[in-house]
Structure 1
Amino acid sequence: MEILIVEDESEIAQLIKQTLERENFSCAVASNGLLALESFKQQEPDLVILDLMLPGLDGLEVCTRIRQQPNVKDPYILMLTARGEEIDRVIGLSTGADDYLVKPFSPRELVARVRALLRRSLRHSTQESSQIYRTKHFTVDLDQRIATRQLNSQAAENLDLTTLEFNLLATFISYPGRVWSRTQLIDKLWGNDFFGDERVVDTHIRRLRKKIEPDTANPTFVKTVVGVGYKFEDEA
């Protein structure tokens, strides 16, 4: 597994690198946002450990740009910050971070968070199923890991979804009309591997909507149930 560490404080960067390399991860280090984006394109890491406060481009901007990169691996992002205020967590997660770790942190906690994030992709990529779910506008093939959207009666397109987005859509389609709370979606998609704020679910819902909804401001398929969570609606 390839990990990109984006941290401008060299002592912290080396501590993270040495800690993870002892766990047999392959690590590269970038000291600012521009170098991080360049390294990201070359390395295409499985995970980015991203400091929030960076010189030049800050961590929020780097996170946003990584999520906007076309035709490259969509990595998990673990955001680091020296601050623990609620607003920072919300902003970090809203830009596409998958988890959030506040400095100072112990090497043991860092390794646990990293392993939990990487296990998500490993667990879902090794699931075996021959089930295919269909609605009026979508088909999800769990065996081939392919999701398509019907554009009209004669044309369909493959959806370019991350592992988590695919599993989220598959969960919704396999239980049409069911209302899911954030906690239930976390249990379904992450299980015991989950660390962090449950509002990370909202981040992935927004990203999924951008890829499947005609109008993200007025969702047709993935609908918010106020005070409860989300549900999927589409004709069978």
Structure 2
Amino acid sequence: MAPADFSPPPPNVPSVAMAPQPYPAAPPAADVFAVAPPLFSAGASAPSSMTPPAPPVPPPMPAPPAMSSPPVTPAPPPVAAVPTASHPAPPQKTPTPGSPPPATSSTSSSVPRAKLVIQRGGTVGKEFLLTETESNIGRWDADGGIFPDVDLDQDDPEAKVSRRHARIVCQDGQYVLEDLGSTNGTFVNRGRRLLPGNRHPLNDGDEIIVGKTFLKFHYIR
């Protein structure tokens, strides 16, 4: 190979100055990443590929069977009434004037009914029924809580009968009389004065004197 011929330029030819060439821009660094634009805006719907599938809808439940009403039991046929022989009701007794009233249901069957009738010293003929096993003779006193069965308050204007004067008790079907410590005493058939606490048997038709009031004892047959 022949050597290159480097001959100097002619002296009269001006030399041209060459401007320095800029170096090319460096490529971007490998760790710098461009921000990708969003796939969809806030107002737009997501693509169908990114929407989760809806849950499956369960099939409707079958309706429960209707309740059947219980069977109705037919009513038994009416029983024909058997004719019976009619009996006439017994005739009712009409009470005569002055007869004692009928016995009440509260009276025990073992207690015979009796009564006292005023003979003297008050309303003559006034009766007091003795339907209990124990009947007190005296005068009514609301303040003292005394309410005798045989109340002689209106038939004793002189107050000769004590508030708690005497008592008639039925023992084993027999009535007896007992004085309760009265002031003016208790007498039977105008005999001796009864001692308080001593019981005197009574017979039908006996006369009882308390204070100045005369009473007649009667059994009600």
Q: Do Structure 1 and Structure 2 share a fold, with TM-score over 0.5?
A: no
Bigger helix share = 1
Higher gyration radius (CA):
2
Q: What band does the TM-score fall into relative to the shorter chain?
A: under 0.3
